[in-house]
Every structure is written in C-alpha cells, then in structure tokens.
Chains A and B, each alone.
Chain A
C-alpha cells in the first residue's frame, strides 16, 4: 500500500475555521486597545481591594469553615504529630535523667541542644504530614480554585500549629527546667525554645516560597539537626555566652521572633493577590 505522506493542507485550511479569524479581528479592535484601556482605567479608579489581615482571616475562617474543615481530612496528621511530640519530649526527659554528665557544661548542653532541636517538632511533623498528604491525595489543585484563598488557609493552619507547638514546648521546657535543675534559668530555656520554634517556622516558610524541588520541604529539618549538632560540638565555646545573656533578653528574643512569625503570616494573608509570573 502506498502510505506516502498525504497533503492535508487544504483540509487543515478548511478546518481552521472562520471563528478564530473572527476572534482575531474582534480582538484587534476590542481586546487589543479599547477593552485593555478600559480595564486599566477601572483598576486605577477603584484601586486594588485591600485584603483582610491575619486576625480577621483567622476569625472569619474559623467562623466560616470551622476548625473541623480547616483541617479537613488532616486530623490523622495532627494526632500523629501530637503522639510523636509527646514521645520525643518523654525521650529527652528520660535520657537526660539517666545520663551521668561529666561536667556542668555537658549537663547544661544536654538540655539546651534537645530543647533547640525538639521545640519545632510538633510544627515540623504536622506541617510535613499535611503537605505530604495533600500532595499524595492531589487535593491541592482543587482547593486552590475555591473561593477561600489557599494562602490564607495555609497561613491560618501555620498559626494554629505554631501556637500549639509553643504551648507544648513551653510546658515541656518548664517541666524539664523545674525537675532537673540544669543550671540555666527557665526564662533562658524558654527563650531558646521559642527562638528555635519560630526561626524554624520562618525558615520553613522561606524555603517553601523560594526553593523548588520535591525534597525542599526536608531542607530545614536537615539544617536544624546540623545546627543542633554544631551547638553541641561548640558547647564549651558557647557556654559562657549563654551564661552572660540575661534571661529576660533570651525570652525577649524568642518573643520578637514570634512577632516576626505573626507578621510574615499576616503578610501571606494580605500579600500580593497576583501569583508571581514565572517569566516574561
């Protein structure tokens, strides 16, 4: 059989219907100039609507969606996160009590390093599980086309995880400080705990907005383990600094980082309505 390449140009030309040509013609008159100018004028006249901030979004979202829908399909992640967090803090407490610390500095850093590494654990576990679950279930694209902005939902979820993490790490830190008498004030340890939690959260937000790739969500986790390790290795050099920092200053640093965290979430709610262009 002769299967030579047929000349389909005539039929293609016929099928390239007049509709498209009509659109192009109309567009030159309407879309190309007048409509575009009218749209620009309307936007300039009305201005860009200001979006509500974090607090309003939190209140409106909890009212409209309810807590159940805010974490719809994700309660298992929250449950696993809570169990894992309790287990981690119990392990920290147990190992600290069992270990015979060779020096005062070793004893202090035997508590400071776990507090630094473990304070963001609830935020980390719940946030990672939620992201991975929504990725695996392919629900993100659907949620992104709904009326509630996904950025707002993500910001409110982060606020929720951050606050619960803060409560749990505060409880754990106070309990550890009171029962073990490590040689550092509770305020200093709380400052370390809050600083670690909110620095971690800020780093996680930055990485998610700026770093691409499947494995990017694990980047901050890896960084935190390395930082904890470095903190332990440099304990003798770092110890004098820790002793001389006033406890109130340590706690204030943690609270300032909390404030920055809230401002970043607020910015995510209020922020640009337009997704970034990839190019062009």
Chain B
C-alpha cells in the first residue's frame, strides 16, 4: 500500500503539489488532469526522482527514500519521455534494464523474450529500436517497466502521441498486466481511463479534487447532462461541454443542474466530469 502524507512540492515560487494526502491500493489508478497540473511532479516524487519539500511517502509503512534500492526494486516506471538507445535492439535494451534491476543474465534472457511476446513484439526483438514505430517503442517501454514483476507500476502519459489503434492496444495491455499490483497511470486523455481505471484521481491546484471510480464519478452527473438545439441560450449555472453533429444538425451537449426548457437527457461520461471540473482552468 502506498501512502502520501501531506506532500507538498514547489518549483521556484509556484506550489505545484499542495499538502496532498492519498492512499493507493491494488488496481489501476488513473491520474487525470490537464497538462501542467502537477501529474508528472507527483509521479516523479512517487518514483523517487524528486523529493517532496514536505510530507512523507511510505510503502507499507516505510519511507520510500529510506527503503532506497528495496523500493526501487519493486518499482516499474515508464517515463513520459521514454528514453532508449536507438542503435540497440529491444531485447538488448530489456536485458540492460534487467541487469540494472539486479536480475541475473540467465533469468533475464527468457524473461525479456516472454515480455516481448506479451507486448506483441516477439518478431521484433532483434530489431534496432530506431526502426520501431512509436507504438512499438511504447510497448518496449511497458515491457521494461514489467521486467522485475513490479508491485508498483508507474506509467506517465503512456499513450501520448500514439494513434488510436496503438492507444487501444496499449490500454488493453496495461489492463491485462495490472492484476495483483498497483498501477498508477497518468494521463490527460480521458478515454484512456474510462474502461480500465478502478479509481480516477483528479488534481486541481496541486490538490486532489476527486478520487473515485469512473462509475461513481459519472453517477454524480446523472440527470445533469443534456443535448439541446444549437441555438439554445445557456442559462445560469449551465455549461457548454461539446458541440455534436447529429445527422445534418448540430446539437450542444451541456451540463445543467436542472433540466433545461428544451433538450434530451443523456448518460454522463468521464469526459463530462473532466470538463465540468476543469472548466475554470480555461
């Protein structure tokens, strides 16, 4: 179990994480916030890359900085900018990360092959990484994060820059690999979390403004999301979420605390919640 107690972090005079407390158990935890909201800072603190200015982060009651290599040994990390060596093969790269994780050569070789098979790169293991597509490289990134069978896996924007097909493939892989471990998946792409996250944690002004399952979040908005005609004038408390094409006609998807004079109620989704929460960040 990972606990964060009153964690704060500032860069120059800007407080990026502000007195944040959080408990994270097994399952996929989506960290959802717009760019620049502090996701990567929070992720980097959990990954021991930066230290909080104040507060503590503990793993099963022990400070992660004191645990040092014992903590890093149970950690799998895919950074936002996944760095690799372009002239080396995916298999060589996995072997290298395995060695850095203290896994012996004999055990590492079949492990690397097995992981490449899981991420669908069985036939590309010997290829130089510079010849692989962006999606394939991200899958190698996921495989390296899995090489030590981590209890805590941190994925920072793993689907950024991928085409929709690769994004779905990577999302499914994360879901398949998430059993019996904590997965923290940071993203600003709402659809990444809708189907695979057990919990969605939203950050606002360096604090947690929401930590619930996608279902609980969308349930809060039930009866408050409507499709209205394009010429509808928004009233007090209402919020335009999206313009939708319905055949030839354009309709507006709005949030309204009370049913509008005209319009049809529709089920809420996570994107609606995201837009409602971050409306004032425009």
Chain A interface residues (CB < 8 Å from chain B): 1-8, 10-12, 14-17, 19-20, 23-24, 26-27, 31-32, 35-36, 38-39, 42-43, 48, 64-66, 69, 72-73, 76, 134, 137-149, 153, 273-280
Contact = CB atoms under 8 A, between A and B. Distances in A.
Contacts of A276: 51
- 7 smallest CB-CB distances across A and B, nearest first, come from A138-B83, A73-B85, A139-B83, A280-B53, A146-B100, A17-B212, A145-B77
B102 A31 contact: no
A70 B248 CA distance: 62
B33 to A, nearest CB: 13
B166 to A, nearest CB: 20
Given A8-B239, A8-B279, A17-B210, A43 B66 contact: yes
Interface of B: 3, 5-6, 8, 10, 21-23, 44, 47-51, 53-54, 56, 58, 61-63, 65-66, 68-69, 72-73, 75, 77, 79, 81-88, 92, 95-97, 99-102, 104-105, 144, 148, 199, 202, 208-212, 216-217, 220-221, 224, 231-240, 255, 257, 273, 276-277, 279-280
Contacts of A149: 68-69
Contacts, number: 190
Given A36-B56, A141-B79, A278-B53, A6 B61 contact: no
10 contacts: A2-B235, A3-B234, A12-B277, A19-B211, A64-B104, A72-B99, A134-B83, A137-B83, A278-B53, A280-B8
Contact of B238 (A6, A12, A39, A273): A6
Contact of B84 (A15, A137, A273): A137
Contacts of A275: 48, 50-51, 65
Contact of B280 (A8, A27, A147): A8
Contact of B236 (A4, A14, A280): A4
A29 to B, nearest CB: 12
Given A11-B221, A273-B65, A278-B53, A146 B101 contact: yes
A15 B257 CA distance: 14
A4 B234 contact: yes
Contact of B232 (A1, A20, A138, A141): A1
Contacts of B208: 20
Nearest to A51: B68
